[in-house]
Amino acid sequence: MIKKQTEYSVGDIITYEVKEENKKYYITHRIIEKNGNEYITKGDANNKADLNKVSNNSIKGKVLFYN
């Protein structure tokens, strides 16, 4: 379950939308750095941070719990 927040913090797990050409998909990763309204994320199983910054507008919500 995800819920839209007014603010996100380092450590939050978020789901965000990615648009590429004719495709749209969602990624769920943890915020590791915040720069104003942009975030740097990283998957928990990944060794490196994601290359693309995530804007506030593309975030669908914070992950509240999962199974």
pLDDT of residue 22: 92
In terms of residue numbers, what domain contains 56?
A: 2-63
**Mean pLDDT over residues 45-58, rounded?**
95
| Total count of domains within the chain | 1
- In order of 13, 17, 21, 47, the CA distances from 43 in angstroms are 9, 15, 23, 8
- Selected residue with higher pLDDT from 44 and 65: 44
pLDDT of residue 10: 97
CA dist 18 and 58 (Å) reads 7
**In the block, which residue shows the tokens 């648009």?**
19
pLDDT of residue 35: 94
Three-state DSSP class for 49? coil
Provide the pLDDT confidence category of residue 65 given band limits of 50, 70 and 90. confident
Q: How many CB atoms lie within 10 A of CB 29?
A: 21
